[in-house]
Structure 1
Amino acid sequence: MADFSYDALVFTPHDVDLSRSPLAGRIDAETYVLGAFNPGMTRLPNGNLLMMVRVAEALRHPIRDQQIHAIRWDEGEYKLDAWPLSLVDTSDPRKFMMRGGGWKVMALTSLSWLLPVELDAEGKTVVAVHYDRAIAPRTSYQCYGVEDARISHVDGRYYMTTCSVSPERHSTTLYTSDDALDWTLEGIVLDHQNKDMLIFEGKVAGKFWAQTRPLGDLYFAYPPEAEWRAGPSINLATSPDALHWKPYDRPGIRPHAKTMATARMGGGAPPVLAEVHGQQGWLSLWHGVEPSGVVGIYRTYWTLLDRDDPSKALATSDTPLLNPSPALCRPLEELMYVNDVVFTTGIADGGAHWIVASGEADLACRITHIPKAALG
């Protein structure tokens, strides 16, 4: 891993003012910030950086009277739903699973909304927190929350993908903006259980491109001698307008059979044009997950994709670019509920370095300055 000139947590649960939350005064239960993390990031017209922080607002006491409760948006109100403890599995602190039924069904004891946090040009200092521009559920397909923003700037317009969560579907939704502060919800662009959609920061042959990550419980095996491992991988899609997407015929980045460190993978930061050791292409930062415990170990890796055909990899590294950093979270030990997770969600050009935004331990926002020369 490279030596970083700057690597710090810049926004944590302690920095969120819940009295200004979209839920404030609208739910009959005490809540707290489970995490302020996984920030989409872009550069504003004024030169500052904007993080769109996922705030997971959780019930302080989800279990009471032998029932576990979840927060749900419903027609402009926030409600509490209750299930008997005998019907659920609470082994994962982020969610609870329904027992029986023949397939996986889950619910959350938190509801996520997006908080715009403005940083200085280098991403080191919070300049403003725009509570008045927060993005919260506003339609039935977002009733369990709006999660994990990714922001791309293409031809003078901002495009933000989010994961919208509901019993109806687990979908990708698109917001657009002229200034990255006032957003218009364009609706669903990818349907059920397609996460980590990242729109490239620029067009290829006049089309929008995106990385996607369809999920499922069934994957077909590669031949025994293949270099790839079956499982969740990064796919590609193209669009004429960023609203209507067609899956690309060739695969994107796939788990490699020689390592378990990337047994599961997904997109991280939106691909940006970059030059790495004389080769120009789309720099893609993505996460690889090594199976371990309940959640796994999340690390950030990089791949340089061909400028004209992003299904072709020009260069990649099996060495993590970013590892989880327990030292950064030591001041927040009393808030920690998972370990070994760094989840990169944004990138901006800082001149001689990349400014990289990540969620650390599903808890806080981490900014890292990575020298461009470190890629190799």
Structure 2
Amino acid sequence: MTFDRPHDLLKRSPANPLIVPEQVRPSRPDWRVDCAFNAGVVQVGDETIMLVRVAESVAASAPGELRVPLLAEDGAGWRCTVESLRRDDPAYDFADPRMVVLRADPAQVYLTSMSHLRLARSTNGTDFTIDDAPFLFPSTRYERFGCEDARITAIEGRFYINYTAVSDLGIATGLAVTDDFRRVERLGLIFSPDNRDVCLFPRRIGGEYWCLHRPAPRHLGTPEIWIARSPDLLHWGRHERLAGAVPGGWEASKIGGGAPMLETDRGWLQIYHGVDAQQRYSLGALLLDLDDPRIVRARLGRPLARPAEPYEVTGFFDNVLFTCGATIRDDALYVYYGAADRVMALGTVALPELWAAMGV
């Protein structure tokens, strides 16, 4: 499927794509890197630091076989292993390249790849050096299928990393913290399944920590953006719906938070994603009140960016723009985004241009 090239506010970097799977060393010699995308981003002095989601699969399978990576219980812990599935087994559905579904009651799912988080660093924001080894690799029951889509938020001198913990139990949100991007401490799950797209605010408001999150109701309702508060970043409550999907357009199917919250003189800026009926992911923008972020001050009336470039339209999962990180430098917004679930890219827009488009 192709789409007309839109007149987007977000201007693509001529360096795009910034990171491709071929640049990333596999974590194991018998694995291959399929995707390097959906990176959390933070500015530390003159350095831009990414936590890239690296999705790996088993490099070789026998004819008629698919080998999938996952964690298996090993005594008191969990170790990485590989499970072999027969492609001609009618009990399995192999239609989706991202997963295999065992037709059972209830259905059982295997992911075709396992994701971990890998550090990448840059001094100019576009040319990144990627570590050879994982920074955060799946290691718990709740990460059996991988660690995905990290967001990095600097809060009170520490760097908090929230990420999607994926397992056969569901999609949950984990929290970790680092002081130096050399050592990292897991703090546990902060949202149970199914909940993801958590975006932390970088400071307390009214003495409390705040975040956006995105529950995925299975029986009634639509996946939309909610807001919650916490006394300690671990225990979250006072949940309220913040922003919903908009019928009939680019965000009709569902919406979810993207980058951690950015503080500006106009309000809290949130770059989020919206999904249409054709499963095309675009980027949008919300502006929340500085003192009471439950109040939406402005919402961009059209997409900030839609899939258009070849690396956005075609990939592991086509027609996707998905951000986990954005920064503000020199009165411009820098949005780092995963494209087509395969590569990392960058787009920029001057803040005065964005404010004018949002009417603030």
Q: Same fold (TM over 0.5)?
A: yes
Q: Deviations over 1:238-282 (max 9, x none)?
A: 11111111142x31111123535332111111111123xxxx211
**1:160 is matched with which residue?**
161
Change (3 A) 1:239 1:180: farther
Q: Which residue of 111, 114, 119 maps to 1:116?
A: 119
Secondary structure of 1:269's match?
A: coil
Q: Which residue of 330, 333, 337 maps to 1:351?
A: 330
Q: Which residue of 69, 72, 84 maps to 1:71?
A: 69
Q: Answer yes or no: is 1:13 the counterpart of 2:4.
A: no
Secondary structure of 2:18's match?
A: strand
Cα distance between partner residues in 2 of 1:215 and 1:329: 25
- Displacement of 1:317: 1.2
- Displacement of 1:178: 1.6
Q: Which residue of 299, 310, 326 maps to 2:293?
A: 310
Q: Deviations over 1:48-67 (max 9, x none)?
A: 011100000012345x4644
The total of aligned residue pairs comes to 341
Secondary structure of 1:131's match?
A: coil
Cα distance between partner residues in 1 of 2:81 and 2:218: 31
Matched letter for residue 371 of structure 1: A
Counterparts in 2 of 1:1-376, with a 5 A limit?
1-2=8-9, 4=11, 6=13, 8-18=16-26, 21=27, 24-25=28-29, 30-44=30-44, 46-61=45-60, 64=62, 66-74=64-72, 75=74, 77-84=79-86, 85-101=89-105, 103-120=106-123, 122-126=124-128, 128-132=129-133, 134-219=135-220, 230-248=221-239, 250-257=240-247, 259=249, 261-275=251-265, 280-292=266-278, 296-328=279-311, 336-375=315-354, 376=357
- Displacement of 1:159: 0.8
Cα distance between partner residues in 2 of 1:61 and 1:136: 22
Secondary structure of 1:373's match?
A: helix
Matched letter for residue 108 of structure 1: L
Q: Deviations over 1:107-130 (max 9, x none)?
A: 11111011000012x41111x323
Can you give the 5+ residue segments of structure 1 that lack an aligned partner in the other structure?
220-229
Cα distance between partner residues in 1 of 2:25 and 2:304: 33
- Displacement of 1:39: 0.3
Contact 2:35–2:316, Cα closer than 8 Å, also in 1:
no
Secondary structure of 2:310's match?
A: helix
- Displacement of 1:185: 0.7
Cα distance between partner residues in 1 of 2:317 and 2:232: 38
Contact 1:123–1:355, Cα closer than 8 Å, also in 2:
no
Q: Deviations over 1:165-217 (max 9, x none)?
A: 12244211001112344221111111111111111122211211111111132
Contact 2:327–2:333, Cα closer than 8 Å, also in 1:
yes
Q: Deviations over 1:298-357 (max 9, x none)?
A: 000001011122121100112111222333469xx7xx3322100011011111211111
Cα distance between partner residues in 1 of 2:291 and 2:108: 41
Cα distance between partner residues in 2 of 1:94 and 1:31: 16
Cα distance between partner residues in 2 of 1:339 and 1:218: 27
Change (3 A) 1:41 1:260: closer
Cα distance between partner residues in 2 of 1:80 and 1:179: 33
- Displacement of 1:370: 1.8
Cα distance between partner residues in 2 of 1:194 and 1:353: 31
Q: Deviations over 1:88-121 (max 9, x none)?
A: 21111111122131x453211111011000012x
Cα-Cα RMSD: 2.1
Secondary structure of 1:11's match?
A: coil
Cα distance between partner residues in 1 of 2:171 and 2:295: 29
Matched letter for residue 32 of structure 1: R
Secondary structure of 1:325's match?
A: coil
Identity of aligned residues (%): 27
Can you give the 5+ residue segments of structure 2 that lack an aligned partner in the other structure?
1-7
Change (3 A) 1:17 1:258: closer
Contact 2:224–2:254, Cα closer than 8 Å, also in 1:
yes
- Displacement of 1:3: 5.7
Change (3 A) 1:247 1:368: same
**1:226 is matched with which residue?**
none
